[in-house]
Amino acid sequence: MTSVDNDVARLVFTGLTRFDRGGDIVPDLARTFHVEQDGRVWTFEIREDARWHDGMPVVADDVVYTITLLQHPSYTGPFAEAFRGVSVQRVAPRVVRFTLPDPYGPFAGNTTVPLLPAHRLGSVPYPALAGDPFNMQPVGTGPFKVSDVSEREIALVANQDFYRNSPERSRPYLDRIILRFYRDPTEALMALARGELDGVGGIGSADAERARTLRTVSIYSYPTSDFGALFLNVRPERAVFRDRAVRQAIATAIDRGRVLQVAIDGRGTVADSFVPPTSWAYSKDIRKYPYSLEDAKALLDGAGWMDTDGDGVRDKGGTALRLSITTSDDAPRIGAGTEIVASLRAVGIEAQLRTVPFAELVERVIRPRAFDALLVGITSTPDPDPYAFFHSSQSRDPGFNFSGYSTLPMDRNLEAARRTFERERRRQLYDAVFQTIANDVPLVFLYFSDYLYAQHRQVKGLKIAAIVDPTQRFWDVEDWFVRTVPRR
């Protein structure tokens, strides 16, 4: 799917639940939901005023149909794992129940999946879905519905009976949204400058600076949970990282603010944890490593790492502090890696930067864990569950525990957090995990990136919220409006 396809899906379809401005899961098509049996059974009651664009009511059969599609053996999309082993049952016309094989705390996030209409697609065989006319004229439940489709643009019109605006009003403020195709954000920004567009998403820093010179355009910066990090391979065969003081010194020697500037032109915030401060799972009390070359040197001195032969590289017990940093060959990663290498050399750690094409990085470096240190960007998930990055079972491919770091208490905390749906309890368990990571430093968190969106100033009502993917910039689109009458 293209970014425009994803935007259409966000505007046309909705799910049982959604993320609100604070990142909390709240009912959407569902009126209420409750959890039983320690998180194994989730029951949702669908709103009576929720209707498809063709006027048909949203019912439990629609939920059952959608989940059945996602559980089809041929489906390999983003929700392929979300409902594996989950039983879905129609309890009443507007009541549906999920039964999980085991308690799973992050399950609520899975119920944000957009629903499909059983009454329109239920008789279509799975292999025929990709070619069904529904794809060009979809029927959804969202604030807008598809009107016209061409090679250059997709036009959507307001859903005149949108449940989420009830009872204050029956529809979004905007009458129409047109999504146009452009080769890249720069070309789209030029169209914005000419007055052909009202908004452009995903622009880079250079384009943002150009947009700021336009009197009619405002730049919005959406915080995300996507982060850049330096993973340190702490497996037994990588002797250089066995000493925790070395890892702490590396974290202290890196100027994260400078890396943020070099890598993404400052479009984000410095990171010190797996989740940003906007997340409910963030712990403000975790150990931090302010940039200080002197403190980094003191950590190494205290641990007995000295330059005994005068070659400029610290050593201890016959082991020299030499390592390579592997990353992709795109300019932002190279810039960040070069900055990190210089910082480490300044404290007596010899680092070399190794760059390879991204496909090779994945296949020949990440999958076999063939690196000393790995500099990569991580795309986050809606739920702050760090299991895939820190549990011992994930240290081999396809897991994301690139560092190979694990402890028994951490495993137990991560497993317990997945077994509870109570947020405060999950927060406590994650706090212990993040504290351990901060102390032992199997990776150095560098920065969280922002998503930049340029929009014409005549479009009002947009509210900034932390987002997980670019389509979430439309989280409050039904409240956007255009001021058409001048003030007096």
How far is Cα 347 from Cα 321, in angstroms, rounded to an integer? 10
Q: How long is the chain?
A: 488
**What are the pLDDT tens digits along the chain (488 aa)?**
677 889 999 999 999 999 988 888 999 999 999 999 888 999 999 999 999 999 999 999 999 999 999 999 999 888 888 999 999 999 999 999 999 999 998 999 999 999 999 999 999 999 999 999 999 999 999 999 999 999 889 999 999 999 998 888 989 999 999 999 888 888 888 898 888 999 998 888 888 888 888 888 999 999 999 999 999 999 999 989 999 999 999 999 999 999 999 999 999 999 999 999 989 999 999 999 999 999 999 999 999 999 999 999 999 999 999 999 999 999 999 999 999 999 999 999 999 999 999 999 999 999 999 999 999 999 988 889 999 999 999 999 999 999 999 999 999 999 999 999 889 999 999 999 999 999 999 999 999 999 999 999 999 999 999 898 899 999 999 999 997 655 55
* Beta carbons within 8 Å of 487's beta carbon, 6+ residues apart: none
Residue 214, Cβ neighbours under 10 Å: how many? 15
Separation between Cα atoms, residue 428 and residue 417, nearest integer Å: 9
Q: What is the pLDDT of residues 271-325, one digit of tens each?
A: 999 999 989 999 999 999 999 999 999 999 999 999 999 999 999 999 999 999 9
The end-to-end CA distance of the chain, in Å, is 46
Buried/exposed code over 142-168 (b: 16+ C-beta within 10 A; e: otherwise): bbbbbeebeeeebebbbbeebbbbeee
Instruction: Give SS3 for 134.
Output: helix
Distance CA 155, CA 140 (A): 15
Contact between 462 and 198 (Cβ < 8 Å): no
Residues 206-263 pLDDT 10s: 888 888 888 889 999 999 999 999 999 999 999 899 999 999 999 999 999 999 999 9
